[in-house]
Structure 1
Amino acid sequence: MIAAGRRVEDIATVLSAHGLILRGGFKCGASETPFADLSGAPVKSVLLVGQAGAAPWPHFLRWIDKQSQTIANPLDSWSREVIGAVAEAFGARAVSPSDRPYLPFQQWAMRAEGLKPSPLGILMHPQYGLWHAYRGALLFEDELPIQAGETAPHLCDSCVEKPCLKSCPVDAYSAQGFAYQSCLVHVRGAGGSPCRSGGCLDRNACPYGTEYRYPPEVQAFHMASFARATS
């Protein structure tokens, strides 16, 4: 059997071939039984899988080109396939942010990496800014040598201007939260062309992690998915 420490390193190596990275993890305490793993035993370790910047994009596009039919949620399907294969190879269970009932991925991420939400709700990373994502998690029945992250510097605290709250033409983000319907109507409408082609104006206004900013075609892909939302 592969040593636990080596297993984490090997998982990271396999994920890197798809542009994905480990996004931290944590051990579940003895009293924590929020879900069950393969055998029904309580989960003892969680590793989060995600991305920094648009590194997975070329791998995803190659996968799309090989599909024989249109897929409703292709990025989710690709993520499930890749992370699911890793889980099978390393004795874990794979879960996704889109699983129902929804799992507390944001809480897991805050615990694993010590991050806090930005005014847009996206977790602010001290290196990646707002340009990162979580694509899934690996749940293990045994303990891995991982530690939850310490609280990272929250860049939003020192950002006085808050340009992320001043760039949206319909003020979708405010202290009251996200005005989902207002944003959706705008993105779908005639005035939403800049958002559809280049992504959320508020997100792009953030001054942090700009070297990881998703290219316009990636942002357009995500915005098109949002515009297709039915609720």
Structure 2
Amino acid sequence: MSNGNEGRAPDEVYGLLDQALKRHGLMARGGLYLDSDADLAAREYGFKTVVLAGHAGSSFWPEFERFDKDYDGPDPLDAWSKTIAEQIASEFACKALYPFEKPWWPFQSWIGRTEGLKPSPLAILIHPQYGLWHGYRAAFAFQEAIAIPAPQSLMHACDDCADKPCLSACPAEAVTQHEFRLKQCRGHLTGEEGHNGCLVAGCLARNACPVGSNYRYCDAQLRFHMNALELPGI
């Protein structure tokens, strides 16, 4: 892969990439340098820099809904993400990587190295500003070193939460201090109470978390994610 960023200073690429993402309601979420001795992506593919791309809240939802209106295929959110990421990757002469298809790139490890996020009791990574209302849609891998923000080690919001309302809000008692009981959660959602509760308004435990409440997903996005669970009998 050739370097298509001629004319762009290495310290400009990250900011320009962030601007390109923001045109679609996304944003750059930090980056990392890869080591050929420690990182398979560097050793086998020659990648030197990875920039993560994601969102906070429902910033991308209006554009996705316009895409979904005319899309007739499986996994519409993944398809939209790839459409946007491939366009941007072409513009910046880099490779778009995804957390939802093979090969399974180490997104969890990369997130830990860029933002230092840890899971909440719901098994969702919690951000001190965005709470549980954020995500990662792609990463961009460069075969050159570009300037990136220094890695962060963000505070774990759950450590300072004394009340932990997420634990008591779950009607299935699937959320505990030490584990998320997926089987109990899914079993509850297939019943009448879950069908009329979490499947309509979104996960009640997630909604109960006070961190980042201003970024709570819009109702349409909440319903989309709940419907995507493909529960039996629903």
TM-score relative to the length of structure 2: 0.90
Q: Hey, what does 1:149 align to over in structure 2?
A: 151
**CA distance in 1: counterparts of 2:106 and 2:79, whole angstroms:** 20
Identity over aligned pairs, percent: 40
1:25 aligned to 2:28? no
* Structure 1 range deviating more: 217-226 or 140-149: 140-149
Q: Hey, what does 2:87 align to over in structure 1?
A: 85
Q: 1:210 aligns with which of 213, 216, 219?
A: 213
Q: Hey, what does 1:122 align to over in structure 2?
A: 124
1:225 aligned to 2:228? yes
**CA distance in 1: counterparts of 2:45 and 2:99, whole angstroms:** 21
The answer to whether the 8 Å contact 1:111/1:148 transfers is no
CA RMSD of aligned residues (A): 1.9
The unaligned stretches of length 5 or more in structure 2 are 1-5
One-letter identity of the residue aligned with 1:8: Y
The unaligned stretches of length 5 or more in structure 1 are none
Q: Hey, what does 2:203 align to over in structure 1?
A: 200
One-letter identity of the residue aligned with 1:66: D
Q: 2:162 aligns with which of 151, 157, 160?
A: 160
Q: Does the residue aligned with 1:177 lie in a helix, a strand or coil?
A: coil
TM-score relative to the length of structure 1: 0.91
CA displacement at 1:204 relative to structure 2: 0.7
Runs of 4+ displaced beyond 4 Å: none
The answer to whether the 8 Å contact 1:119/1:174 transfers is yes
Instruction: Report how many residues are paired.
Output: 226
**CA distance in 1: counterparts of 2:37 and 2:49, whole angstroms:** 13
Distance 1:36 1:198, change over 3 A: same
Q: Does the residue aligned with 1:126 lie in a helix, a strand or coil?
A: coil
Q: Does the residue aligned with 2:221 lie in a helix, a strand or coil?
A: helix
The answer to whether the 8 Å contact 1:28/1:45 transfers is yes
1:45 aligned to 2:49? yes
After the TM superposition, which residues 175-186 of structure 1 pair with which residues of structure 2 at under 5 Å, given as runs?
A: 175-186=177-188
**CA distance in 1: counterparts of 2:201 and 2:172, whole angstroms:** 16
